[in-house]
Copies of this chain bind each other. A is one copy, B any other.
Amino acid sequence: MSQSDRSSAVRVRLVDVARAAGVSKTTVSDALNGAGRLPAATREHVRQVARRLGYRPNATARLLRAGHTRLIGFAAREYVETPWVYAELAYFGQLVTAATRAALTHGYGVVLLPTSGPDDCWLDMPLDGVFVVDPVEGDPMVGDFLAAGIPVVSDRRALAEATGGAGTVGRWIDFDHGGAVRRVLDHLEAAGAERIAVVAGATTACFHQESAAAYRDWCAERGREPSIVCLPGPGLQPTLEAVEELLDGPAPPDALFILVEVNPPLLLEAVRRCGRSVPDDLLLVCTTEDPTALHTDPPISTLSFLPGETAEAAVELLVDSVEGRAGEPGRLFSAELRIRASSAFPATA
């Protein structure tokens, strides 16, 4: 019954191999890990016995011994109440994808963390470090990990600097959100827009806060009337409805800057339903990572927050922290405005 050998509930341990091979635990360990100075014969013998018995080292025990787990956590905190809804947004999807890939190249695995749960249940996971996206003000998760001496990288510089302090904790990546928004607005203005409306999220994420503020400032500086709709959530339907309302309302805008993730093709369709044509009739810039923005007709200008690059940077900062390397405390990125036909100068100009 070789089958019942293997699937029997009792796992074979190092000491079992040692006994079966008639050697000590040390010898087995050395033989299997290529350590020590064993004669090739002993080594081979031990290996054979180990294989015959179907021995696999216990990962947890090695980790305890090693003092690290090569596991990093990933958490997105914005929608704390409804865990993992955000996974369906292209931005978060790409973020976790890139983080995973980056972690793997550094020899780390990624653990998807719960955003809610019994108290500080996240501390029960054997993590070497954590990447926290969109931490909330005074985030308990961040606090817990830092207090436990587990390095944290977040995407909020201000928050990281407020909490951490010493060398190995509280590093960050971040964006100049206000600057990015102004760049978009300037671009739209240069393209001839006179009434730029903004659709923003109403969450606590600093991204939305800062973006909305920047928009208002920008308008104030020019004596323009701000026209902004704040959405409670990231749903597709509410966003499209908000757009249609704006376009069908009084004093419709001649440019739209969408700050929540929205499906580009469907957005375009909604705009058309309102009898507007992009870009002749309405300039359009979206904050989305959805790759279909490239393939619509016309292609849509986007403001990208570079999930791939930033996740990679975050993981690198984290790994540096974990492995005790000093280094930069954080990295500031610039959102990338990708100008495409939806906001280019009208072809007629």
With A127-B59, A295-B236 known as contacts, the answer to whether A146 contacts B7 (CB < 8 A) is yes
Q: Which of A95-103, A175-183, A244-252 contacts B (4 or more CB under 8 A)?
A: A95-103
Nearest residue, chain B, Cβ from A99:
B112
Q: How far is the CB of A338 from chain B (nearest CB, A)?
A: 17
Q: Contact at A126–B69, with CB atoms within 8 Å?
A: yes
Chain B CB within 8 A of A62 CB: yes
Q: Contact at B83–A87, with CB atoms within 8 Å?
A: no
For chain A, residues 290 to 313, give those with C-beta under 8 angstroms from any C-beta of chain B: 291-292, 295-297
Q: Contact at B97–A88, with CB atoms within 8 Å?
A: yes
Q: Contact at A236–B112, with CB atoms within 8 Å?
A: no
For chain A, residues 81 to 101, give those with C-beta under 8 angstroms from any C-beta of chain B: 83-84, 87-88, 93-94, 96-97, 100-101
Q: Which of A22-30, A218-226, A263-271 contacts B (4 or more CB under 8 A)?
A: A263-271
With A11-B149, A93-B93, A295-B266 known as contacts, the answer to whether A126 contacts B168 (CB < 8 A) is no
Q: How far is the CB of A320 from chain B (nearest CB, A)?
A: 14
Q: Contact at B104–A97, with CB atoms within 8 Å?
A: no
Chain B CB within 8 A of A111 CB: yes
Residue of A104, A109, A113, A114 with most chain B CB atoms under a 10 A cut-off: A109
Nearest residue, chain B, Cβ from A51:
B147
* A347 proximity list for chain B (CB < 8 A): none
A113 and B104 CA atoms in complex are apart in Å by 8
Give a binary string over A128-155; 1 marks a CB under 8 Å from any B CB, 0 the rest: 0000000000000000001111000000
* A63 proximity list for chain B (CB < 8 A): 60, 126
Chain B CB within 8 A of A45 CB: no
With A165-B3, A166-B3 known as contacts, the answer to whether A56 contacts B266 (CB < 8 A) is no
Chain B CB within 8 A of A123 CB: yes
* A292 proximity list for chain B (CB < 8 A): 236, 263, 265-266
Q: Contact at A124–B56, with CB atoms within 8 Å?
A: no
Chain B CB within 8 A of A41 CB: no
For chain A, residues 43 to 74, give those with C-beta under 8 angstroms from any C-beta of chain B: 54, 56-64, 69-71
Q: Contact at B56–A123, with CB atoms within 8 Å?
A: yes
* A260 proximity list for chain B (CB < 8 A): none
With A266-B292, A297-B269 known as contacts, the answer to whether A97 contacts B84 (CB < 8 A) is yes
A36 and B184 CA atoms in complex are apart in Å by 63
* A324 proximity list for chain B (CB < 8 A): 9
Chain B CB within 8 A of A318 CB: no
* A69 proximity list for chain B (CB < 8 A): 60, 126
A135 and B102 CA atoms in complex are apart in Å by 23
Q: Contact at A147–B109, with CB atoms within 8 Å?
A: no
Give a binary string over A207-235; 1 marks a CB under 8 Å from any B CB, 0 the rest: 00000000000000000000000000000
Q: Can you list the 6 inter-chain pairs with the closest CB atoms, starting with the nearest?
A: A265-B265, A7-B166, A56-B148, A59-B126, A87-B97, A60-B126
List 5 A-B residue pairs with CB atoms under 8 Å apart, sorted by A's residue number.
Answer: A8-B166, A59-B123, A263-B265, A265-B265, A269-B296
